[in-house]
Structure 1
Amino acid sequence: MEVRKRRSRSLDEEGQEEKMKKIHVEEKPNNEERPLEDQKKSPMEKTSKDKSKERKKSEDQLEDGKKSPMEKRSIENGANKRMRSEEGQLEDGKESLRKISEDEKKSPMEKRSIENGANKRRRSEKGQLEDGKKISEDQNKRSRSPEDPLEGGSKPKKLRVDTDRPAPLDIKNYRFYSELASGGFGQVMLASYAPTKQLVAVKIMKKKPDKSNFAIMMKEARLLKVARGCTFLCHSYAAFQSELEAFLILEYASGKSLMEMINRKGNLPMGRIMFYTAEMVVGLQFLHSKGIVHRDVKPDNTLVDRDGHIKICDFGLAAEGIFDEERTSGVAGTPGYRAPEVLLKANYNAGVDWWSFGITMYQMATGRLPFSPTGSIVRQYYAIEKNKPNYPYYMSQEMLDLLPKLLEMKENKRIGVNGNIREHSFYRTVIWEELENRRVKSPFQPGMPSADDFTECQQTFSANVRKEETNLEDFSYVDPNWEGQG
C-alpha cells in the first residue's frame, strides 16, 4: 500500500513538472531557436515532450467531441473548400501544361500569328484605357471655370473663321461660267449664286505668301461697303476668303465696260457722253466727300449695268483719308490716264481723278487717248507738257470748253478742284436730282440674261482658312440688303 502511494505521488510530481515545462516552452517568443534548444535537451526531456504532445492530441480530440453538430459541419465545410481550391489549382496547372505542350507543337508561323493577335489586343486595351483617360481629362477641363487661373483655366480662344458658313459665304454655292477681266490683282469671273441663280461677278484675288497684297484686299472690301451709299458705284454683295484666295461677290454689269463700248463704236454720240459722264461726276463727288481718291479712273473701270446706268468699279488703288488740304503720293493708275503731278511723283489730292475723268471723256468722244502712254514716266510727262490734244471738229462748243479745263496742268486750277463741274454749260440740261435718283432714262438698257444661258466651267479653290497667318481679319461680310441671297 505504501509503495503504491509513493508511486502515485511520484507520478503526480512528474505530471506537474511536465506541465511547468509545457508552459515554459509555450512562453518562448522565438520559434526559430527551438530546434537548437531541442538538441541541447536530454533524452528524458525529449521523451517527456513526446508524451505531452500525445496528451494534447487526446485533449483536442476530447474537445472536438464536445463541439456541437453545427460547429462540426462548419469545420468540415471549411476543410472541403480548401480541398476543392487545391484541386482547382491542380487542374489549372494541368491545363497550363497542356497549353504549353500544344504551343510547342505549333509551327513558328502559327506562333507569330498568335503573338501578333495578343499584341493587338493589348494595344487595343491600352488605347481604350488612354482614350478613357483623355475623355476624363476633357470633362475635367470643361468643368473648370475658363476664367479662373487657380483652376488652370484660360480664356476661350476666338475662332478665326466660322466652320458653319452662311450660304453666300461659301464658294461651293457659286457656279462659274467665263472670265470677265484679269490683271495683276487676279481675275473677275461671271458666276451665279446657285440657290437663286442670280448672276454675279466674282473677283478672285490670290493671297501672296509675303502678305504684300493683304492691305489692298482689305481696303477694297472696306471701300465697297462705303460705295453702297451711291448708286453709280459698284456694289458688293459679300466678301469671304479661303486659305489661298479672297473673294468679292459683286453686282454683274451686263452692259460691260465703256471701253468695250468705245471699241465697238469708235466714238460715242454727244448725248450719250453727257449722260454717262454726268453719272460719273455724281460717283466721283461722292467718293471725294468720303475722303477717297480713286486714282484709276478709266473706261475699263466704268461699267454699264442692266438698266444702262454707270457703275465705277475697282477700288484696289484708291487712297483714303484725303480731306481738305490732305494729300497722298505714289505712282498709281494706268499709263495714259495719269495726271502730271503723279508722273512727277509729287504729292496730290482728288485733282488726279478729274484729270483721268477728262482723259476718259476725250476717249469717249474720239476713240483714242490725247497723250501717248508709252515710254518712261518722264517721257509721258513731257508728252503732256509739250503737246496739245487734237480736238475734232464735231465736238460741241461746250465740250471744247470743258475738256481743256479738265486737262489743266496745274491741279489747283483744274475744274472739279477749282469750281463745281455740275455748273458747267456742258451739263446745262441735266436735272441733277433726277439723275441721282436714277429717274433719267438711259440711252439703252442691256437687260440681264439668265444663268441657264451660260455653260458652267469648273473652278478649283483651296479649303477654308486654317492658319492664322493666312487669315484676313474681319474680312468676311454679307450685305443685309442683298435681295438675291434668298
Structure 2
Amino acid sequence: MHVSWTEVVKECALQSWYCGLDLCNTFATARHLLAQPYPILEVVYSAPAHTSQLFPNVPPAPGMSCAGEDRSIYRRGARRWRKLYRVNGHIFQAKRFNRRAFCAFCQDRIWGLGRQGFKCIQCKLLVHKKCHKLVQKPCSSEHVDPVEIKDDANGESTLGRASSVRSRADPEPPLPDTPPAPAPAVREDLEPGSQRQYSLDDFELIRVIGRGSYAKVLMVELKRTKRVYAMKVIKKALVTDDEDIDWVQTEKHVFETASNHPFLVGLHSCFQTPSRLFFVIEFVRGGDLMFHMQRQRRLPEEHARFYAAEISLALHFLHERGVIYRDLKLDNVLLDHEGHIKLTDYGMCKEGVRPGDTTSTFCGTPNYIAPEILRGEEYGFSVDWWALGVLTYEMLAGRSPFDIAQAADNPDQNTEDYLFQVILEKTIRIPRSLSVKAASVLKGFLNKSPSERLGCGESGFMDIVQHPFFKSIEWEMLEQKQVVPPFKPRLEGERDLANFPPEFTDEPVHLTPDNDNVIADIDQSEFEGFEYVNPLLMSLEDCV
C-alpha cells in the first residue's frame, strides 16, 4: 500500500504531540520504515488542524490572521472578576465612599482608606466590612437611602437617616449636597518656567494603533516639539464604579513609577475632558511580541532568553516598589526601535504590596492566570513569575502550555472553565526539542506551588539571575541596555507603523462627539487631581 509523505508528516506530528516525542526522532522512525530519503518538508508550518497550535500557519502578511486561525485563543483582554458577598439576600460589594456615610447595622461612621465598606448592589445598603455578616434585615431588592451626615444650620454634623424606600425602577434624584461639576478651565499660554498643563488641542491625532475593552490607543504628535507619543483614551462613562476609578488611579501611579526604568513604558502627561481621560505615554514603535510571534511562530532560544531576562528586570523593579503587574502576556511586551522590550498597560496592577503582603482579587488574562488565583488563595508577586513562565513557553514552543488537542471540535473543552481546570490539574509537558536548561527554567516558573516556584524562594530574584538558563546574561550590562538585542525591528522612520496590526491602523482617527446626557451622569469630582506632567520629560522638551 502506497503511503504519501503528507500522510506520514501528519501522523508523525500527531504522534509527537500526543506522546511528547521529539518530532525529528519520529521522522527518523518513519524514514526507516519507508526506506526512502527525506523530502523537503514544510512541516513547521503545517501542523494538523486538531493539534490546537497557537499559530497554525504562515500569515499572508505580517500581522494578519493565519488561515483557519481562531484569534480568540490569544489577544484576550484581561478581566477582573468582582468579588460579591451574599448575606441574607444581600449582594455586597466593596466600595469606596467619597462622602461621609454610616453603617446601617452599628450606626458608626464608615471611614478609612481605599474601599472602606460594603454596599448591597440591589438595595444600596451600606455597612462596615466587619458588620456585613451580621445584617439581619433581608434584602428587599428595593433602593434604601444610605445613612449620611447632614450639616445643621450651625455647621455641626448630625446623624440622620432617610426613611423613604424607593423602587429600583424609579430614577434616583440628584443628591442635594453634591455641587455641580465645574466647567473645564480655559487653558492659556503659560509663561516659561511655570507649571505646564496639556489639553487635546496640544496634540495632532495621527493614527489608531490599538484598542482594548476600556480604551483606544492613538499615535499623536505634540505640536510644540513635534515629538511623537502614544495616547491612551478612556471614556469616563465606562469607568462605572468605585473599583474602576481606583484602577485608573493605580494605572496612573504605576505609569509615574515606570518612567524611571528602561524596560517599562513611562508617562509623559495626563489630562481630561468632561467625557474622557487621556494618558500620554511613550510611543514604542517596534510592535508587540504577539505581532512578531505571528511571523516567527517560535523564537530561537537565545532570543527568548534575552526577552525573558529583560522582562525579569522590569518585573523585579515593580516588585521592589510594591507593585504586582498581573497582566504579563505577549500583547503587553513591546519592542522599541533597537529591539529592547518595554512592558505596557498597567490597568491590572496592584500597588502598595509590601514583602509578605498578599491580595486576593480574581483577575488577569485567562491563559496566564496562576493556579493560586484560580484556587481562591491569597497571593503575592508569585503570579507574575508564573505568567513569565507561560510567556517563555509560548516563545520557545510556539504554543500555549495549556492548549488541548481537539478542543476546537469539542464545545465542552473550548470554554474558560475547562481552561482553568487544565491550568489547575494538567501536568505541563515540555517539548523534547528544547534544551535541558530551557526545560528546567520552564518547570521552575510553571510550578503550581507558589512557594516552590522560581523567583519565589528565600533568595527571590537572585534564584532567577543564577539559574543555568540565564548563565550567559550579563545582568548589569543588560539593565543599562548595553547588550545588543538579537533582533532589531525594521523601521523606515519615527512614524513607521509596519509593526502594528492593520486592523487597528486602518481605523479612522477621530473621537466620537460628546453626548451631553452622558456627561451629565458623570460625577466629575471622582477625577479631581488626575492631571499630571512628568517633570523629567518636560525638562527634556524645554531643551529642544
Give the structure-2-normalised TM-score. Answer: 0.56
Q: What is the CA deviation profile of residues 415-449 of structure 1, one whole-angstrom value per residue up to 9, with x for unaligned ones?
A: 11124211101111111111111111112333572
1:176 corresponds, among 205, 215, 222, to 205
Structure 2 distance, partners of 1:448, 1:227, is: 28
Distance in 2, matches of 1:254 and 1:186, equals 19
- Corresponding residue of 2:260: 229
- Could you list the per-position Cα deviations for residues 176-200 of structure 1 after superposition, in whole angstroms to 9, with x for gaps in the alignment? 2332221222111122222222221
In structure 2, stretches of 5+ residues that fail to align are: 1-180, 191-195, 405-412, 498-504
1:475 maps to 2:530: yes
Q: Cα deviation per residue 1:180-224 (whole Å; 9 max; x = unaligned)?
A: 221222111122222222221110111127444222211111110
Q: Which has the larger radius of gyration?
A: 1
Q: Is residue 449 of structure 1 aligned with residue 501 of structure 2?
A: no
Q: Does the 8 Å CA contact 1:336/1:372 hold for their aligned counterparts?
A: no
Give the SS at the match of 2:324: coil
Identify the residue that residue 399 of structure 1 maps to in structure 2.
Answer: 438
AA matched with 2:236: K
**Residue number among 218, 223, 226 corresponding to 2:249 in the alignment:** 218
Residue 163 (str. 1) matches residue 186 (str. 2): yes
Q: In structure 2, what residue type is equivalent to 1:422?
A: V
Q: Pairwise CA RMSD of aligned residues? A: 3.0
The CA deviation at 1:405 is 0.9
Instruction: Tell me which protein shows more helix as a share of its residues.
Output: 1
In structure 2, relative to structure 1, the CA distance for the partners of 1:381 and 1:210 (3 Å cut) is: closer
How far apart are residue 461 of structure 1 and its match? 5.7
Percent identity between the two aligned chains: 28
Equivalence for 1:261: 292
- Are 2:376 and 1:345 equivalent residues in the alignment? yes
Aligned equivalent of 2:454: 415
Distance (Å, rounded) in 1 between the aligned partners of 2:273 and 2:252? 15
CA distance in 1, matches of 2:313, 2:389: 15
Change (3 A) 1:190 1:461: farther
Letter in 2 for 1:428: K
Deviates most, 476-485 or 352-361: 476-485
Aligned to 1:310: 341
User: In the TM superposition, what is the alpha-carbon distance from 1:379 to its structure 2 partner?
Assistant: 2.8
Gaps of 5+ in 1: 1-157
Query: For residues 84-99 of structure 1, what are the structure 2 equivalents within 5 Å?
Result: none
Match of 1:279 among 299, 310, 332: 310
SS at match of 2:367: coil
> For residues 160 and 317 of structure 1, do their structure 2 counterparts lie closer, same or farther at Cα, with a shift above 3 Å needed?
farther
Q: Which moved more, 1:375-384 or 1:403-412?
A: 375-384
In structure 2, give the amino acid aligned to 1:245.
R
* Aligned CA distance change for structure 1 residues 466 and 170 (closer, same or farther; 3 Å): farther
Q: CA deviation at 1:385?
A: 3.8
Residue 477 to residue 349, structure 1, CA distance change in 2 (3 Å): same
Offset of residue 463 of structure 1: 10
Q: State the shift of 1:230 in Å.
A: 1.5
Higher strand fraction: Structure 1 or Structure 2?
Answer: 2
Amino acid at match of 1:477: Y
TM-score normalised according to structure 1 size:
0.62
Q: Is 1:390 equivalent to 2:421 in the alignment?
A: no
The residue correspondences of 1:106-255 to structure 2 (distance < 5 A) are: 162-164=185-187, 169-208=198-237, 210-212=240-242, 213-255=244-286
User: Structure 1 CA distance, aligned partners of 2:393 and 2:240?
Assistant: 40
Decide whether aligned partners of structure 1 residues 339 and 386 sit closer, same or farther in structure 2, where only a CA change above 3 A counts. Answer: same
